[in-house]
């Protein structure tokens, strides 16, 4: 497996150009160009692109963990959803009296459930900085506690995967409960505005897309930088020869923990960017299937490459959009076949294919 983070300089530059280009082109194409221009972009396409970008960030987060530290989390959807819920809670508070019941203190679903006051864990979500802090902290702390317990007992490999899957499953059951105070089955939706900007306005959508593109680019650069350091070298080494790294005196558990927490936070950020662009967050995001799908994005693109993971997310999400609209029955067949083909014939993913040709 290729251990150089970020692959060839060409790919790296192309990636930067892609995200910067997207951030520049989309607002122009959507807001300035007339609708009949061939380069114009519809509002629907803008939110679709924004969605793909969030998924790419999620894939990047998992690749950092799986591709470099060798830990396959099948619960990354949970961190994504938690970040999304933190953002959703802020957006809910912004609705104010514009809800169906017009209650200034309580979100609609709480009025509906006859709650008399806001539960303590909703306190502070009126403030944007606090909510953004929670986007990072909630997934981060969960990963810290879960990882600390797991890595201390040397839970690795498939055991780690199964337990993270059980974690997201338990969270899904919990968030489906109305008593939890997160809107139960329906989740959080009907958002109005973010920092005072109308979420349904084209300009807000474009601004969100630009922010997302820049965040993904920033996260990619951060991961690349991190992996190029001595820290990154140790992490990569423990993926390949954990025993040897431990004998050399490194605290393997701490290295894994740092990567796990960082990766969970990135997933949380992805979720927080995702929610205002799709307009809803519900417990379905915790489904184990969603988390496993992330792994296949990474595997298709090529794990341990960062760029590949993002590419995989883009490609598969686009195929999913096409197939579920045109042939809904075919999508699961295609996804299933993809799992099989990639693991059997493309162990290094699309990028591996490209690189092999490049080197050969």
Partner 1 sequence: MFGTVAAYPRWSWWMSLGLFLAVSLGGWTRVTAQTVETSPSIPSLRELVNRLPEAQDEEARRALLMHIAAGGDAATERVFAALERGALYVDRRSRTVVEGSRKGSRYLLTDVLTGEALGEAGRRDVRRIPVDNRLRAELRTVQALGALEARDPTVRQAAISTLLGSSDPEVHKAFERRRGVEPEAALRSSLDVALAIFALGGHDPKAFSAALNTLEGRSEENVRTALRQFSARSDVLESQQVRAQRLLERAENRLRWLARLEALFFGLSLGSVLLLSAVGLAITFGVMGVINMAHGELIMLGAYTTWALQQLLPTQPGIALLLAIPTAFFVAGGVGLALERGVIRFLYGRPLETLLATFGISLILQQLVRSLFSPLNRSVSSPEWLAGAWEIVPGLALTYNRLAILGFSLLVFAALLSLMKYTRFGLQVRAVAQNRAMARALGVRSQRVDALTFALGSGVAGIAGVALTQLTNVGPNLGQAYIIDSFLVVVFGGVGNLWGTLVAAFSLGIANKALEPMVGAVLAKILLLIALILFLQRRPQGLFPRRGRQEEQG
Contact residues: partner 1, CB under 8 A: 70, 72, 146, 149-150, 152-159, 161-163, 165-167, 169-170, 173-174, 176-177, 242-243, 288, 292, 295-296, 299, 329, 332-333, 335-340, 342-344, 347
User: For residue 155, which phi and psi values (nearest 5 degrees)?
Assistant: -80, 115
Between CA 228 and CA 223 the distance in angstroms is 9
Considering the complex, state which of residue 292 and residue 306 has its C-beta at the smaller distance from partner 1.
Answer: 292
User: For residue 338, which phi and psi values (nearest 5 degrees)?
Assistant: -60, -45
The number of beta carbons lying within 10 Å of the beta carbon of residue 266 is 29
Between CA 85 and CA 79 the distance in angstroms is 10
In the three-class reduction of DSSP (H, G, I as helix; E, B as strand; rest coil), residue 113 is classed as coil
Closest separation between CB of residue 43 and partner 1, Å? 32
Closest separation between CB of residue 68 and partner 1, Å? 14
Considering the complex, state which of residue 8 and residue 287 has its C-beta at the smaller distance from partner 1.
Answer: 287
Closest separation between CB of residue 305 and partner 1, Å? 16
Closest separation between CB of residue 64 and partner 1, Å? 16
The number of beta carbons lying within 10 Å of the beta carbon of residue 207 is 15
Tokens of 319: 């195929």
Alpha-carbon radius of gyration of the chain: 21
Between CA 77 and CA 293 the distance in angstroms is 9
Beta bridge pairs of residue 280: 189
CA torsion 261-262-267-270 (nearest 10°) is 150
Considering the complex, state which of residue 21 and residue 157 has its C-beta at the smaller distance from partner 1.
Answer: 157
Between CA 17 and CA 53 the distance in angstroms is 15
Considering the complex, state which of residue 207 and residue 346 has its C-beta at the smaller distance from partner 1.
Answer: 346
Considering the complex, state which of residue 20 and residue 337 has its C-beta at the smaller distance from partner 1.
Answer: 337
Of 26, 350, 337, 28, the closest CA to residue 211 belongs to: 26
Closest separation between CB of residue 146 and partner 1, Å? 8
Closest separation between CB of residue 70 and partner 1, Å? 7
Considering the complex, state which of residue 153 and residue 229 has its C-beta at the smaller distance from partner 1.
Answer: 153
Considering the complex, state which of residue 88 and residue 288 has its C-beta at the smaller distance from partner 1.
Answer: 288
Considering the complex, state which of residue 272 and residue 313 has its C-beta at the smaller distance from partner 1.
Answer: 313
Considering the complex, state which of residue 184 and residue 279 has its C-beta at the smaller distance from partner 1.
Answer: 184
What is the torsional sign of CA 62, 143, 247, 154?
negative
Closest separation between CB of residue 11 and partner 1, Å? 24
Closest separation between CB of residue 185 and partner 1, Å? 12
Between CA 246 and CA 29 the distance in angstroms is 53
The number of beta carbons lying within 10 Å of the beta carbon of residue 293 is 23
Closest separation between CB of residue 343 and partner 1, Å? 4
In the three-class reduction of DSSP (H, G, I as helix; E, B as strand; rest coil), residue 194 is classed as strand
Classify residue 246 as exposed, middle or buried by CB count within 10 Å of its CB (0-12, 13-18, 19+). middle
Q: Is residue 266 within 8 Å of 61, Cβ to Cβ? A: yes
């Amino acid at each position: 497996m290729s251990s150089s983070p970020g692959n060839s300089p060409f790919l790296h530059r192309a990636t930067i150009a892609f995200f910067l280009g997207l951030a520049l082109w989309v607002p122009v194409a959507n807001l300035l160009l007339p609708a009949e221009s061939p380069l114009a972009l519809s509002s629907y396409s803008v939110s679709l692109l924004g969605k793909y970008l969030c998924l790419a960030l999620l894939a990047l987060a998992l690749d950092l963990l799986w591709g470099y530290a060798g830990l396959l989390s099948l619960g990354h959807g949970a961190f994504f959803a938690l970040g999304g819920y933190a953002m959703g809670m802020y957006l809910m508070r912004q609705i104010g009296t514009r809800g169906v019941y017009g209650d200034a203190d309580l979100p609609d679903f709480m009025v509906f459930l006859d709650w008399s006051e806001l539960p303590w864990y909703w306190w502070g979500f009126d403030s944007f900085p606090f909510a953004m802090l929670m986007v990072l902290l909630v997934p981060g702390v969960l990963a810290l506690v879960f990882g600390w317990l797991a890595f201390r007992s040397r839970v690795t490999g498939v055991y780690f995967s199964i337990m993270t899957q059980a974690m997201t499953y338990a969270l899904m059951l919990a968030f489906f409960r109305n008593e939890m105070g997160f809107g139960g089955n329906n989740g959080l939706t009907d958002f109005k505005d973010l920092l005072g900007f109308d979420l349904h306005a084209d300009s807000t959508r474009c601004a969100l897309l630009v922010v997302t593109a820049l965040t993904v680019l920033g996260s990619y650069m951060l991961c690349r930088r991190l992996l190029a350091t001595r820290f990154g070298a140790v992490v990569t080494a423990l993926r390949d020869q954990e025993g040897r790294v431990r004998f050399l005196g490194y605290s393997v558990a701490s290295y894994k923990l740092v990567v796990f927490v960082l990766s969970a936070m990135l997933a949380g950020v992805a979720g927080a960017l995702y929610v205002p662009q799709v307009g809803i967050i519900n417990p379905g995001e915790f489904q184990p299937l969603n988390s496993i799908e992330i792994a296949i994005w990474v595997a298709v693109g090529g794990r341990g490459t960062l760029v590949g993971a993002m590419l995989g997310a883009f490609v598969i999400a686009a195929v999913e959009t096409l197939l579920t609209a045109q042939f809904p029955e075919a999508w699961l067949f295609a996804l299933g076949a993809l799992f099989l083909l990639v693991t059997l014939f493309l162990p290094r993913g699309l990028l591996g294919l490209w690189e092999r040709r490049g080197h050969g």
